[in-house]
């Protein structure tokens, strides 16, 4: 018999659960000084455990933390990546490299290594410890005038290629985590952006809006922005 308490592990990728809370300051003020101190110590211990392990727990501050929003998705690879055959054609047409030559084989090997790294980072990502985090959900339009899913695959891949080109302009400035949520939540994708300052978040979202994929075919949800802080600084800013 299967263990009912065993974690649900997807066949591919990781679950990605975004949880957002607000502090009920009226409830917080009803706690005694000792209760407030105990709650903050408990939260600090849980955060330290989460950072050290893969386990998660409910926060003991939940009595004063009101759920605001949640979003469930899965890490996934893109279906619009360049295929080896396409890259081989590019080598032949743009660099005049012939199949079977040492230069061609070296270029194809380098391409395969890059794509393997790209896929690994999409499905099992390494996230930066940067202070600014932004999350929003999005879906592709299925209207009478603009229907993403009615476009031929090659057209969609070409459009996404241009979309990705804009994103690459922010390499080293913004880290993007794209997760799929079709059938799991209200929208089709979750987008999490990591940056060192809010300017880069604003800039990449603004620049992306002019790309056809966003301008013609994308619908966006609410935007949530947060900053990572040491817990003592977090408590100070929230006046807890």
Enumerate the active-site residues. Answer: 136
pLDDT of residue 59: 46
Instruction: Name the residue with tokens 């005049």.
Output: 96
Query: How many whole angstroms separate alpha carbon 15 and alpha carbon 44?
Result: 24
**Mean pLDDT on 158-180:** 93
pLDDT digits (tens, 9 = 90+) for 79-127: 898 888 888 988 988 888 888 899 999 999 999 999 999 999 999 998 8
pLDDT of residue 124: 92
Query: How many whole angstroms separate alpha carbon 188 and alpha carbon 73?
Result: 9
Q: What percent of the chain has pLDDT over 70?
A: 94
pLDDT of residue 1: 53
Is a pLDDT exceeding 60 seen at residue 167?
A: yes
Reading the block at residue 46, the tokens are 């849980």
pLDDT of residue 54: 62
pLDDT digits (tens, 9 = 90+) for 170-227: 999 999 999 999 999 999 999 999 999 999 999 999 999 999 999 999 999 999 998 8
pLDDT grade for 2, boundaries at 50, 70 and 90: low
Is a pLDDT exceeding 70 seen at residue 53?
A: no
Picking from 213, 212, 167, 174, the residue whose alpha carbon sits closest to that of residue 192 is 174
Q: What is the CA radius of gyration of the chain?
A: 22
pLDDT of residue 100: 87
- The rounded mean pLDDT for the chain is 89
pLDDT of residue 194: 94
Query: How many whole angstroms separate alpha carbon 234 and alpha carbon 88?
Result: 52
């Amino acid at each position: 018999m299967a263990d009912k308490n065993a974690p649900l592990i997807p066949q591919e990728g990781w679950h990605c659960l975004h949880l957002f809370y607000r502090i009920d300051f009226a409830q917080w003020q009803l706690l005694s000084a000792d209760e407030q101190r105990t709650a903050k110590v408990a939260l600090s211990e849980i955060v330290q455990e989460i950072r050290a392990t893969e386990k998660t727990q409910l926060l003991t501050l939940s009595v004063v933390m009101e759920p605001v929003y949640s979003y469930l998705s899965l890490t996934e690879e893109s279906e619009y990546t360049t295929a080896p055959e396409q890259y081989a054609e590019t080598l032949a047409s743009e660099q005049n490299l012939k199949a079977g030559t040492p230069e061609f084989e070296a270029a194809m090997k380098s391409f395969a290594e890059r794509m393997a790294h790209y896929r690994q980072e999409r499905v099992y990502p390494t996230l930066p410890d940067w202070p600014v985090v932004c999350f929003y959900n999005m879906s592709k339009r299925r209207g009478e005038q603009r229907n993403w899913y009615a476009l031929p695959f090659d057209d969609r891949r070409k459009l996404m290629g241009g979309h990705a080109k804009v994103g690459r302009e922010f390499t080293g400035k913004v880290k993007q985590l794209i997760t799929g949520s079709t059938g799991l939540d209200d929208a089709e994708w979750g987008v999490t952006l990591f940056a060192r300052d809010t300017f880069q978040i604003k800039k990449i979202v603004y620049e992306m809006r002019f790309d056809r994929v966003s301008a013609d075919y994308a619908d966006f949800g609410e935007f949530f922005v947060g900053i990572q802080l040491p817990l003592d600084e977090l408590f100070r800013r929230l006046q807890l």
